[in-house]
Amino acid sequence: MSSSKSKIVSPIPLDVEYYPNWFTQLRWDLSNSLFNWFYPVKPWIFGATLAGSFACYNHASISSFPLKYVFNQDVPEKEIIRLLKVSGLSLLTAYLPIFLIRNLVLKLFIFRYKGFLREDAKNPSFITKVWAAYTIDRYLESIECILSEEEYLELLCKVYSTFTDNYVTGFWEKYAYLYGRKPLLVNSSVAHVDLFKDVPANQAVRAAHIVYLEALHMLGIVRQRIKPLGDGLVYSGHYKRLKMYSTCRIPGEKVDHLKVYKTSKHVAVYLRGHIYTVDAFDEHNKLYSKDPSQLDTFMRNMLAGDIRWADKSLNYILSKNGRAGGTTEHSIGDGAEFDHVMENFVATDLNFMTYPEKVEDIDQCLDYQEMEHEIEASREVLADAFVQMAIQLANYKQQGKFVLTYESASARFFANSRTETLRTVSKQSCAFVKSMLNEECSKAERLELLQEACKSHHLRKQRTPNVTNRTDEDKYPERTWLGASFGPVCAQGLWRVLQIWWQSLNCIYISSLKSATTTDADDFRILLSESLDEMADLLKKY
């Protein structure tokens, strides 16, 4: 194990263990700002270009281009004025190419490319794409007469979009999250649990590990040394200003607001009715050295349990047997950020930290593999689509009809975007569900309809994304985190969160309101397990 650990690079920088003083923080911020300001060009390249331009302009004749447009050839100027003009012209010469590359080449032609959203097996032509844009314009024109100026914001949105990366981001954060008047727990909190298997540590040791890892992760974000989502390909602007670690949701009469504090040096601990402030850094600003019950009950407690600061951006709860979980305030970010933090957390905890061999406080160890199936890989059924079809089948059994269903996804197709929506119900999925309840349909017919429904499913992927690629979740399912859960967004609806490892097991969290009269999470769990068994039987060799 030690040799394998030495070959793995930690996703969290382990060499940043000092809390930054004001000078160090200023130096980090200046360094990060320079790299971000000159992106995609390195600062030293900009500096070399600036120095070369200054040397060239300083020794060139004032009658040459472009100096003849800057200097007055008839009236001699003071040396300081001449140097200032040469410096300004050199700065413009060095920075103008960077500005054009970032704002024209990258932003307009690469980052804004969304053609893949319209490109599928049918391969629509360019004329079809133009027709679609023309249709949207005609639709907006047709509704302009029946909407008020406040309702018809198309022109204002276009104007606003020229000054921001995504004009929807601010609206979404304010009205989807901060404008909510319902309790934050369940309605605006995301619960999470760490590992499948219990960690050989008691509550205090596990808490120390969590504080240590999260402090390293926080400092890594400050230093901008955390690899972005999607193995470095996906931009995550929700880490700006340390929202994940230093944010408090301040209540208001009509709308709340987020207050972001500076980098934290302590953690607040609630234990046996007392609140403690525990410093994570010593007097020299150095990070201190690292020295459940059933899962459904534990996850329910993470989502709606006691002793939570629902307004804080991040909470952790430790059980006596070392199992860890918590809640996160949803307005600060989406599942991609939570997933990113937890995958880095688990990978570092397993590969770079050790626990005592003898542990006395392990209450129980739960290995949850109820939905494991040996399924023939040649059937080419996508894992996510397979589970989504099972959800549709279970829902039809419970409701007796098809209902509006959406699958949330942090696809990040747009700059600073939040949660996108994927619609699950389709003609193909409905046909498959009906065939499963039709005794006259053969097994081969049902399998064919299942394959068609899965192919038509919009989310074309083989599993829930592993955003860091730090852990082989199919090979080592016990080394992955258990995922997250959320409350139902509809009073009469269900909320389901999926963690899918196609070769080993599935973990599905289901929640519903106790006041709901038409839905029941426990009943749906039984129907979903039954539906998964029935569908898995279709994929077995026969």
Domain-by-domain residue ranges, the chain?
183-352, 377-539
Residue 374, pLDDT above cutoff 50: no
Q: What is the pLDDT of residue 252?
A: 92
DSSP 3-state of 240: helix
Which of 25-29, 235-239, 267-271 is predicted with the least confidence, judged by mean pLDDT? 235-239
Q: Taking phi first (over 0 means left), then psi (-120 to 50 degrees means alpha), and beta for anything else, what does residue 230 get?
A: left
Tell me the mean pLDDT in the region 251-256.
92
Among the options 209, 238, 330, 457, which is catalytic?
330
3-state secondary structure 79-109: HHHHHHHHHHHHHHHHHHHHHHHHHHHHHHH
Asked if residue 527 lies in contact with residue 398, where contact means CB atoms within 8 angstroms, the answer is yes
Query: pLDDT of 112-134, one tens digit each?
Result: 666 655 555 456 666 566 666 77
Q: Give the residue carrying structure tokens 């696809």.
A: 411
**How is residue 482 annotated by DSSP?**
E
**Bridge-partner residues for 84, per DSSP?**
none
Equal fold, 183-352 vs 377-539: yes
- Asked if the 377-539 domain carries CATH number 3.30.559.10, the reply is yes
- Cα–Cα distance measured from residue 249 to residue 261, given in angstroms and rounded to the nearest whole number: 11
Sort 15 into a burial class: Cβ within 10 Å, 0-12 / 13-18 / 19+. Answer: exposed
Mean of pLDDT values over 471-490:
61
- Which residues is 170 bridged to in the sheet? none
Cα–Cα dist 352/216, whole Å: 13
Q: Is 466 helix (H, G, I), strand (E, B) or coil?
A: coil
Axis crossing angle, helix 383-399 with helix 427-436, rounded to the nearest 10: 60
217 is catalytic: no
Q: Are 193 and 481 in contact (CB under 8 A)?
A: yes
Contact between 366 and 360 under an 8 Å Cβ cutoff? The reply is no
What is the per-residue pLDDT across 298-322, written as a single tens digit (0 to 9) for each? 667 777 777 677 777 777 777 665 6
**Helical H runs in 8-114?**
22-37, 43-59, 79-100
CATH number, domain 183-352: 3.30.559.70
